[in-house]
Structure 1
Amino acid sequence: MPEKIYNKVVVVDENDSEIGAEYMMDAINKGLIRRASRVFVFNKNGQILVQRRSEYVLKPLLLDQSAAGHVDEGETYYEAAVRELNEELGIKNVDLEEIVVSLRTTDFYNAVYRVIIENDEQINFDTEEVAEVIWFDVKDLDKEMLHKPENFNKSFIQMWGSLRDRLMMAV
């Protein structure tokens, strides 16, 4: 597989004010604070869609939130969320509900969105980015994270832990 070419991503200061853009791997290697958008997808039964990252991406084969990625140069948090949802899962033409914006984690300021989809037919995931998708009952996801945290992307555990109750409201 050829080496992936990454876009320039938004770099911010300690207050989430944009200070420039760097190629993603350069920004990571320099320890710069970046913006990320994260989307949690639920179905009408209240299950959450979890993706297993493909072997070709950073943090390969870990379980992760439904869709997520860096905010590219010139994008808003919302635009990045829409793009990632389409690129990773093939889901488009849905309204994303904003849960929180400018939530600070170690290397990121994050925007988190939620969407409830009508049916699984809306999902057509990209095998270059996603190995598989799994629907979890929330209680089963909680158990898996507790007993097998090594199977999960740490940022997913962190986001789920801090926003679980807000994400579950009215699902």
Structure 2
Amino acid sequence: MKKIIAFGASSSKASINKEFATYVAYQFQNASIEILDLNDYEMPIFSVDKEKENGIPQLAQDFYAKLGSADLIIISFAEHNGAYSAAFKNILDWTSRINMKTFQEKPMLLLATSPGPRGGSSVLEIAKGRFPFQGGVVKGSFSLPSFFDNFNSVNGIINPDLKNQLTNIITSIEI
């Protein structure tokens, strides 16, 4: 059975991006799903001085190993001031010190959502442009605008056009 690692790139305990990543992961058939919580990987803010003093934190190594165990990585990005959340960026910085090819040539589905009409599209564009340089094989991307208008916990995506767009992307990804 293929393994999907999914997470919301946010440290919010009520993260809509974690909820969205979880929903999308479970749309794939015949896969084992593991949902990560960035709060389980909280580390000191990256600096070369801290790395020289203490080495790379075990949590960064654990996160890197989780990514390496996946047949597909699904990330839904929270957008903080048009870019990654500080929590995600810090994990990415530490993990890249293990291997610049952080994502280990794994297939990825990149997502974003927000309460607003742009659905985190700025951070999604950053990730789509950056992750191939860090060993991510981006197989698809999708931005869900106006999360609270277009999604609910019972039915998932409730806008038929958006649901169809996402379904087509999921169907195109072979794991």
Q: TM-score, normalised by structure 2?
A: 0.26
The structure whose residues are more often helix, as a share, is 2
The structure whose residues are more often strand, as a share, is 1
Q: TM-score, normalised by structure 1?
A: 0.26
Higher RCO, Cα 8 Å, sep 6+: 1
